[in-house]
Chain A
Amino acid sequence: MMEAERIYTVELKNLTLGYGDRVLFAGADLGFGWGEFTALIGRNGTGKSTLLRTIAALAKPLGGDVVVDGRSLESMTAREIASRISFVSTDEVRITNLKVADVVAIGRAPYTNWIGSLTDVDREKVIESLALVGMSAFAHKPIDTLSDGERQRVMIARALAQDTPIILLDEPTAFLDLPNRYEICLLLRELAHKQKKTIIFSTHDLGIALELCDTLAVIENGRFHYGTAAQLIDNGDIQRLFVDTSVRFDPKTKTVRMK
């Protein structure tokens, strides 16, 4: 990937994150590319979630800026952010009687009137979003009757209905079985490439990330390592994640093994 060809949709400028006295990482500079599928990798407590929440404007940075479309998040209204960035959180949505199509339709909220009436454009977007995640047949089912994998697809459809160039997902595969983990990541990759979305998600599935993602951002000891899987392996950044543990990363097979 040539640096000069990349168009950044999300840029971190001298970004410092943390809570109170505890700094997770300081002075990070990084650009996430347009239409790229990026995994955020790091051990628990390294700040993956906090970074996603900061980009989604749910949390404030200790210092520095998040720049989207060349503008600082700080200078944007909630409505402007909502039309650029959608977020799939770890919150479980299992509400009795709430229909799948209605969940996806709530994603149109930034564009609908005071009471949330759907226009024809909104309805088309809902149908299209459900089709993109392969959930058209479930439109009228209550969301509490769906499996975990199906529900995650619906939440991704909701983000698609919000019609943003950037989609952030906080551990979207955490509660899923292995086939579903692959299915969801393949779906996200396809959406990034075909719908030209910038998709950034946090995950502990190193194998899937190395295999399917365009780029990885690894947070290790308060520092960012960013690049393609090959670049990160060549630099030894992936291997360094396993220092001080009883396992090691084997660059040849791209798997984790016992020492």
Chain B
Amino acid sequence: MPALSEILVMILLGVGGLFCLLAAAGILLLPDVYTRMQAASKAVTFGATTIVLAAALHFGDAGVVARCLLVCVFLFVTIPAASHLIARAAYRAREPLAPETMIDELAEHTDRRR
């Protein structure tokens, strides 16, 4: 019978792996660059964070835990900034939105500025 912490590590690893898989599926299946950025950035943040937490829990050593927490902090600070910039660059380069997009309130604003 495995210990409670081992079960928790297994659950976290499983959830993290599943979300990374779903992110990969999202990149293949979603219709345009913006939705793909969403899948690529958010599901991966969540998946990577859970995997890192599993590592922290498994080793339980103060040094490892500190580094794992730092990794989480950097993930949470850098991934949104990067995905925001990529999406913004795509929009400026007039990368088309998917045809199923219902509404674009930014179009008016950028056309005026150009």
Bound together: no
